[in-house]
Structure 1
Amino acid sequence: MNDWRWKWRFYASAFLLGLVLTGLSVRLVFLHALTPESVVRGIDESRRMHKQLLAGRGAICDRMGSGNLLALNVPMKDVCANPALIVRSNLLVDVSATLSELLDVPVDEVAQRLNRPDREFAYIRRAVMEDDAARVLERRIPGVFFRENMVRHYPHRNFMCHILGFVNHDGIGSAGIEQAADAYLRGSPGYLESQVDALRREMYGRRAQYVAPLEGAHVVLTVDQQIQYQAERALDAAMIEHRAKGACVIVQRIRTGEILAMASRPAFDLNTFNQASESERTNRAIGMNYEPGSTFKGVAFSAAFNEQTVRPEMVVDCEDGAWSYGGKVLRDYHAYDRLTVADGLKKSSNILTAKTALTLGNQRFYRYLKAFHIGEPLGFDLPGEEGGILAPVSKWSKISSTRIAMGQGVAVTPLQMLAVYCAIANDGFLMRPYIISHVVSPDGTVLKRTQPEVLGRPIRSETAALMCRLLARVTEPGGTGTRACVEGYEVAGKTGSAQKPVAGGYSSTAHVASFAGFVPAGAPEIGIIVVIDEPQPLHTGGVVAAPLFSRIAGYAVRYLDVAPGRNLLASR
């Protein structure tokens, strides 16, 4: 009996085993020989992995190089989801609540992104720190996954914000250096094609293709962080003291055109650029067209001296402060009887300047304006440079030259106005200003190096030397720019106090105060312009802008170890 049971069990087990093996054989034959090609392709595709490998964006440094990083990369994660899967699984409410708690996103906003059953992809939150992403990963939330991201970070926040610019959420430079040098900074992403196992882990032996990402190149600026910091501090103090609408400062090397500092206010935090207003994002140093007022007189006097239509010792009738010409009355801020041309520049006489412009004639004056690149961009290497406004000479009225000479009826950017004074200080050579020193690849190869470029020579060397001597008198006692003085150095420059144009004329309450000049006057090294938009209640360039020039110039010449040079006034 026991023998029979044992045999029965043996035959039954053998039968079942044979049945299983037969079934497996049939299944294997089906899978390998009878499965439709489309199903086979689908299985193969599910095992295949295609992945773009992010390339690190190049760094941005000041003129000292990689020791002073201004923009760098931070690896982060984008938290993504499959809305269709979550909705089908009836997990919409639970997943929304969990993600809202972990990512600090309003629950209704998360639910709105997930409640889309016709979509298989949605961003829940982009640029999440690695620690926060790890907390989400620990929850193993169905339908939630991650994508690698590389986020641009600006450690100094609003410092140099208008120079650096920012990168948008798609990794594209959208302002400042980030936009101007985007092709160099961006680099090239890599590519990986391989196969994964059932747990979606790569099987390295099945890797089919690997292209390493190419890191972006590094951009080295001409800007010096220390001078930039002092310029920004001075602007912040001026904005508060004078309750100004805006302000800007530019510091430039005269002989080369290198920008050592460029600051604009109001400013914004580069890490939250999308919250900044248009006014905050505007780089006033290159993007603001304004009527410069008396700083523009340097152009008219340079042209007249170069053409020898006037001489410094020539005496001009200043009409006791009121002069009628072309049916309009032109007034001086202070009334004068008769002044030499040299004293007219020193005391900023509108009437004497207007009469000086008339000695040139419209066509000749216009040629000098164009020679100084008034009304056209200088070709600066940051995006957003305006070209100023200069009407063609054919549209000038009888009084146009008299008003343009004193900075009315013409508009410039602060960079253009500084370029004029740097040309005067540079023996008459007008240099193209630039802010990118060089671009270097990750392996140290220099890909691009900016060389100084001469745009033209509006005036002769002797004219430039004469203008340097006369502009130095503006900062001596009796001139309008005494507050621009720097102890131990001779300063040359010009004040500007301009009414802002409004419909039908000029405002009596809104002004632009400025000072443009260079130091040392006898051997110029540094040119600086300060522009304050709508200061209150004081509004003259000599009172509002000149002290900022003195503060910034005083730091810069000592920091750069600039020698005082010979004293022009003492050598007359």
Structure 2
Amino acid sequence: MNESNGHFRPDKWRIYFIYLIAAVLFAVAGGRLFYLSVVKKDFLQNQGEIRAVRTVSIPATRGMILDRNGEPLAVSTPTWTIIANPRKLWELEQDPNAKTTPQTEMDRLAKVTGLGRSWLQEKFEVNRNKAFMYLRRQIPPQDADEIMAANVVGVSKRKEYKRFYPSGEVTSHVVGFTNIDDAGQEGLELAYQSSLQGTPGKRSYLKDLKGNEILRIGQDVSEHPGENIELSIDLRLQYLAYRELKAAVTQNRAASASAVILDVKTGEILAMVNQPSYNPNDRSNIEYDQLRNRAVIDLFEPGSTMKPFTISAALRSGQYTTESIIDTHPGYLRFGRQTIRDLGNYGKIDLETVLVKSSNVATSKITLSLPQDTVWNLDYELGIGSPVGIGFPGESTGVLPSRPKWHPAEIATLSYGYGLSVSALQLAQAYMVLANDGYKVPVTLLKQELPLDGRQVLPPRVAKSVVKMLESVVERGSGKRARIPGYRVAGKTGTVHRVGSKGYEYDQYNAIFAGIAPASDPRLAMVVIVNDPKGRKYYGGEVAAPVFSRVMEGALTTLNITPDLPEGLREVRLEPKVPYRLAQGG
């Protein structure tokens, strides 16, 4: 067949068939190229960068935690972490030109790092196919330099920051601590994690098949350090309170203790200490029980330290005045099988004497004579049963029971501080209101240039009258050991049975003192609680009041607060205290 007689030659068909195949292949190749270069461009580019581009994080310095005077309580110091590339080390086995072996390198590494040879062998075996593992973290620069000088294959260093706490156990319960990755675990380190942590930077570079850097690419992203946090804590007062509280716990063989000092005008926490404590710089032997900020978390029944607020509620109601007389005869009250007693039969006494004598009978009668929720309402307004709101992790709300109908005995016991629970900080807040002429400002752990807005809880005349009565408690009542030479002091003692698994433990007590100074123009409020003192003394006036006196005297002097009793006590003579049963008063 040929073209002259109208037929195609067979070789012509072959040529067209080849053209068709070529066109199809070209179309497929073009389509594939379009798919890869347009549709899958981002994915492929990312995959290429994963294999050739490495981005490393540049650590950011964590913000400092400072006291109100700029003293550092938590700082970050630069350290180095030693890391290894196990895959790179084991590749020596496959390299005929290698001048060393993995075993030789591990021997050298063990020598310079101090790590066990068998541990290193196991570690490298487990991570054989990985390009990263930690060897030693957060070591001093000089140690890192010695290790790097050995030039062990696959070993390098990375800059990190380690948290250091200059004041150690003195501020540990407030500041808390971070873990090895610089994340807050306790205290304010945890509460302000987002502000303190900072933003890491980034650096990108091209790497070769062995992971070595060959070319920087792009622009480095700078790290941004975390914010500094300035606390209301005054480290001078913190040290003073810590020292005296620790001594009191040792002297009285107590289980634990807490103390809080507040600036009554601003609501700032100037000191907050606890025993037992711990050293955040060495947490190798810490027990969980040591970590609690007891002043904020632990609850206790406040006992007689609540009696000033019962008197405040009575005065605010208008049914009582400072001259009102209460008949406490015959020295006890009975509610069915329950009996409320005083130390003795005080007969007819005024409200000031009610506090001086710490009369349970009088406060019970006063409360029962008022509308049912009168005392409860004031306790609630003072913050009892509600979180103080300082943002501290684990802060307790306290317990202020509420009932549609109260049994008379329940109302009576509430009047002298039983049947409710508070933290040391909540009790200090309540006394701060008394000291601030009845005006309640928010309590804070952060330094304040100006007081935050608050509200009037008690009429100023009521608050001033009760503070004056509390002066008498210190001058001629159970609070004599709280006296401070040169200053007028107002306060109240409390001695409360501890609550056990089966109810009140009648051989275990909490010793409490809550006070205000200077009484003529209050600046500071302080609460001291010593839990379960096992010595011969266990009353609030014997155990807690002396701690208050020593710490408050130092605080007033440190803050240059003018004495309001310049001709005052140069020598405090204390009368022997007659032991009395807890149920008979504070």
Please give the range of the TM-score, normalised by the shorter of the 2 chains: 0.7 to 0.9
Match of residue 515, structure 1, among 496, 508, 513: 513
2:531 maps to: 533
Residue deviations 1:222-247 (CA, integer Å, cap 9, x gap): 11111111111111111110111111
- Cα distance in 2 for partners of 1:535, 1:315 equals 36
Residue deviations 1:79-135 (CA, integer Å, cap 9, x gap): 233445556768787666655554455555555533314544332332122222222
2:171 maps to: 160
- Cα distance in 1 for partners of 2:63, 2:285 equals 25
- Cα distance in 2 for partners of 1:202, 1:119 equals 18
Flag the 1:374–1:54 CA change in 2: closer, same or farther, 3 A: same
- Cα distance in 1 for partners of 2:379, 2:368 equals 14
TM-score, normalising length: structure 1? 0.83
Paired residue secondary structure (2:505)? strand
Flag the 1:137–1:294 CA change in 2: closer, same or farther, 3 A: same
- Cα distance in 2 for partners of 1:318, 1:109 equals 77
1:124 maps to: 135
Paired residue secondary structure (1:272)? coil
Deviation of 1:209 (Å): 2.2
2:11 maps to: none
What does residue range 305-344 of structure 1 map to in structure 2 within 5 Å?
A: 305-334=315-344, 336-344=346-354
- The runs of 5 or more residues in structure 2 that have no matched partner are 1-36, 38-42, 94-100, 569-586
Residue deviations 1:547-569 (CA, integer Å, cap 9, x gap): 111101111111111123379x9
Confirm or deny: 8 A CA contact 1:71 1:153 kept in the other structure: yes
**Alignment partner of 1:70 is 2:69:** no
Residue deviations 1:184-227 (CA, integer Å, cap 9, x gap): 221111111233689977667x4312111111121111111111
Q: Which amino acid aligns with 2:481?
A: R
What does residue range 227-306 of structure 1 map to in structure 2 within 5 Å?
A: 227-273=237-283, 275-306=285-316
- Cα distance in 2 for partners of 1:310, 1:101 equals 82
Confirm or deny: 8 A CA contact 2:367 2:415 kept in the other structure: yes
Q: Indicate the RMSD between aligned Cα atoms, in angstroms.
A: 3.0
TM-score, normalising length: structure 2? 0.81
Paired residue secondary structure (1:194)? strand
1:413 maps to: 423
Q: Which amino acid aligns with 2:271?
A: A
State the aligned residue count: 519
Q: Among all aligned residue pairs of Structure 1 and Structure 2, give the percentage whose two residues are the same amino acid.
A: 30
Deviation of 1:276 (Å): 2.1
Confirm or deny: 8 A CA contact 1:298 1:421 kept in the other structure: no
Paired residue secondary structure (1:115)? helix
- Cα distance in 2 for partners of 1:423, 1:259 equals 14
Paired residue secondary structure (2:395)? coil
- Cα distance in 2 for partners of 1:109, 1:397 equals 69
Deviation of 1:534 (Å): 1.0
Paired residue secondary structure (1:501)? strand
2:576 maps to: none
Paired residue secondary structure (1:113)? helix
Please say which of residues 306-315 and 56-65 is displaced more in the overlay.
Answer: 306-315
Flag the 1:375–1:274 CA change in 2: closer, same or farther, 3 A: farther
Paired residue secondary structure (1:462)? helix
Confirm or deny: 8 A CA contact 2:435 2:467 kept in the other structure: yes
- Cα distance in 1 for partners of 2:368, 2:118 equals 70
Deviation of 1:317 (Å): 3.1
Match of residue 218, structure 2, among 208, 219, 222: 208
Confirm or deny: 8 A CA contact 2:434 2:466 kept in the other structure: yes
1:483 maps to: 481
What does residue range 424-503 of structure 1 map to in structure 2 within 5 Å?
A: 424-437=434-447, 452-477=451-476, 479-503=477-501
Deviation of 1:471 (Å): 0.7
Paired residue secondary structure (2:270)? strand
Residue deviations 1:465-512 (CA, integer Å, cap 9, x gap): 1101101111012x0100000100000011111111123431112211
Flag the 1:104–1:232 CA change in 2: closer, same or farther, 3 A: farther
Confirm or deny: 8 A CA contact 1:519 1:526 kept in the other structure: yes
Confirm or deny: 8 A CA contact 1:481 1:494 kept in the other structure: yes
Paired residue secondary structure (2:434)? helix
Q: Which amino acid aligns with 1:542?
A: G
Flag the 1:355–1:185 CA change in 2: closer, same or farther, 3 A: same
Confirm or deny: 8 A CA contact 2:244 2:551 kept in the other structure: yes
Deviation of 1:320 (Å): 4.3
- Cα distance in 1 for partners of 2:426, 2:172 equals 21
Q: Which amino acid aligns with 1:48?
A: V
Residue deviations 1:262-306 (CA, integer Å, cap 9, x gap): 111111111234642222111111111111111111221111111
- Cα distance in 2 for partners of 1:307, 1:348 equals 21
- Cα distance in 2 for partners of 1:113, 1:546 equals 58
- Cα distance in 2 for partners of 1:40, 1:377 equals 54
